[in-house]
A and B are shown apart, each in its own frame.
Chain A
Amino acid sequence: MTKSEFLSELHEMLEITSIKELTPDTVLKEIEEYDSLFLLTIISIIDEKFGIQLTADQLSTITTLQSLMELIGIEKFE
Chain B
Amino acid sequence: MKLEDIEFLGELPSKYKPSLESLFFFNPKQKLNILKIEKAIDRYGYPRIIVNNGNIKIDLEKSKNCQNLFLVRKDIPVVLGVIIHTRTDKTTAELIHFAVDSYSEGGLSILENMLKEIYRIYGRIKDIEKIKITYINRIMRLNHNG
Chain A residues with CB under 8 Å of chain B are 33, 35-37, 39-41, 43-45, 47-48, 53-57, 59-60
Partner of B136, one of A44, A47, A56: A44
Q: Quick check: B133 and A44 within 8 Å, CB to CB?
A: yes
Q: Quick check: B113 and A37 within 8 Å, CB to CB?
A: no
Contacts of B4 in A (CB 8 A): none
Partner of A44, one of B29, B111, B138: B138
Q: Quick check: B135 and A37 within 8 Å, CB to CB?
A: yes
Q: Quick check: A40 and B133 within 8 Å, CB to CB?
A: yes
Q: Can you list 20 A-B contacts with CB-CB less than 8 angstroms, sorted by A residue number?
A: A33-B32, A35-B29, A36-B100, A37-B135, A40-B111, A40-B136, A41-B133, A44-B136, A45-B138, A47-B141, A48-B139, A53-B140, A53-B142, A53-B146, A54-B143, A55-B146, A59-B112, A59-B115, A60-B109, A60-B112
Q: Quick check: B140 and A44 within 8 Å, CB to CB?
A: yes
What separation, in Å, do the CA atoms of A43 and B114 have in the docked complex?
14
Q: Quick check: A56 and B29 within 8 Å, CB to CB?
A: no
Using CB atoms, name the residue of chain B closest to A43: B140
Contacts of B136 in A (CB 8 A): 37, 40-41, 44
> Does chain A have a CB within 8 A of B53?
no
Q: Quick check: A40 and B32 within 8 Å, CB to CB?
A: no
